Amino acid sequence: MIDIKLIRENPDLVKENIKKKFQDQKLPLVDEVIELDKKNREATLKGDSLRSSRNSLSSQIGVLIKNGQKDEAEKIKKQVQDINKELEENEKLEEKYSEEIKSRMMKIPNIMDPSVPIGKDDSENVEVQRFGEAVVPSYEIPHHADIIARLGGLDKESAGRTSGVGFYYLLGNVARLHESVLAYARDYMINNGFTYAIPPFMIRSDVVTGVMSFEEMDAMMYKIEGEDLYLIGTSEHSMIGKFKDQIIKKEDLPIKMTSYSPCFRKEIGSHGLEERGLYRLHQFEKQEMIVLCEPEESMDYYNKMWKLTVDFFRSMNVPVRQLECCSGDLADLKVKSCDVEAWSPRQQKYFEVGSCSNLSDAQARRLGIRVKSEKGNYYLHTLNNTVVASPRGLIGIIENNYNEDGSVTVPEVLRPYMGGLEKIEPVK
């Protein structure tokens, strides 16, 4: 949510930003907010005037009664009662205007960073750079689901019976590899100066609407029936929500945290669900990172964060690239975002394994997270980035470490978490 002062003072900038995101249907919201804000401020001034008059009249009542002027006192009491009625109606009007302004402001997208490329959708995202050589071996690499099945590590048929499409059983050394990746990600982030956390896996609606747009919420979140709780789709939501309505001391910034959680997603949209593989699922696990920092530092942290994901995958022999999200693919709260994509030698293309986002002060405004300083309180900036989401991350690790004999070499950094195992062999 942007600052309403920006809409008052520079509505053309806000409208131009909406156009660049190809959301012209939202353009009327700007003028509606301006008109409602004008009415709300008029109502606020009227309310202040009525309260001032009431206080002035109320102070006279005691004096009049003391002087024996009961009739005059009763007349003023009647005036005070009338003011109270008018004030009650005016306060209802103020509340109505405030709610209508907020409902519109929540739909107006954040102002993008000038460096964001302009494009209609994810097909126009821009490759920035590559890390590691994207190799296609001389031998055939099977579908990742077939590789894992031959290793005795996957059972989606049973998961279909228990839970339906979009779920899975991981088994044996593949399940162990999955947990090893997450354990390594945890230690990797701790060694890079982040505080480890395990957050709540369910959050209330006021936290959900504080961290994401209504459109994202409807497409992603599972609602707990009969309760004001949602299953998290990613742990940065509960991690940012941890600081809701808090005033943070300036000297305590930056706050850098890394969190583990299971994640649950509807995955409604054009991509659908891949029945065979482990790419798009209703349930997965993830190591995440968040940063809360001073506004002037957020772009530096943005660049540090996505590079951490790059280095994480490179340490497991996975070539990756950075892909800049264009304006039409940028979620409304984000000012800048990029994906880290892993190389798939089977498909001979890259696929998303991480996403890094700078949301400036949008989440902080919605959630009331401020910094206390000598010059007054102000909103901080929030950022989030995926370290690894698994089992999706397994696809890149397994394909890029697959051997011609059907075995998978365990990356050296993961072997301490695998009891020293160097290879996962096919089950005979």
The pTM is what?
A: 0.89
Tokens of 310: 């790059």
Return the CATH fold of 4-105.
Answer: Helix Hairpins (1.10.287)
pLDDT, mean of residues 244-260: 97
HEC-encoded secondary structure of 404-426: CCCCEECCHHHHHHHCCCCEECC
105: region left, alpha or beta (phi > 0 left; psi from -120 to 50 alpha): alpha
Averaged confidence pLDDT in the chain: 94
Residue found by looking up tokens 């695998």 in the block: 418
Average pLDDT over residues 99-123: 95
Cα–Cα distance, 386 to 191 (Å, whole number)? 16
Mean predicted confidence (pLDDT) in 385-409: 96
Q: Average pLDDT in the 145-168 region?
A: 93
pLDDT of 198 higher than 90: yes
Average pLDDT for residues 405-415, to the nearest whole number?
98
Residues 66-81: tens digit of each pLDDT: 888 888 888 989 999 9
Domain 122-424, CATH? 3.30.930.10
Given this model, what pLDDT does residue 100 score?
96
* Region of poorest pLDDT, from 39-43, 168-172, 279-283, 404-408: 279-283
User: For the residues 86-112, what does the mean pLDDT come to?
Assistant: 95
Distance CA 98, CA 242 (A): 26
Look at residue 275 and tell me whether its pLDDT is greater than 60.
no
Whose CA is closest to 371, among 248, 225, 223, 205?
A: 248
Ordered by start, the domain boundaries in the chain are 4-105, 122-424
DSSP letter string, 217-251: HHHHPEEPTTSS-EE-SSTHHHHHHTTTT-EEEGG
Under 8 Å between Cβ of 407 and 423: yes
Taking residues 137-149, report their average pLDDT: 95
Closest CA to 358 of 2, 112, 22: 112
pLDDT at residue 18 greater than cutoff 90: yes
pLDDT band with cut points at 50, 70 and 90 for residue 269: very low
Between CA 309 and CA 305 the distance in angstroms is 7
Mean pLDDT, to the nearest integer, of 92-107? 94
- Taking 60 as the threshold, does the pLDDT of residue 270 lie above it? no
Taking the CA atoms of the chain, what radius of gyration do you get in angstroms? 28
pLDDT at position 70, please?
A: 85
Position 268 pLDDT exceeds 80: no
% of the chain beyond a pLDDT of 70: 98
**Averaged over 331-337, what is the pLDDT?**
96
Token pair for 68: 């024996």
> Per residue in 21-52, pLDDT tens?
999 999 999 999 999 999 999 999 999 999 99
Check whether 274 has a pLDDT greater than 60.
no
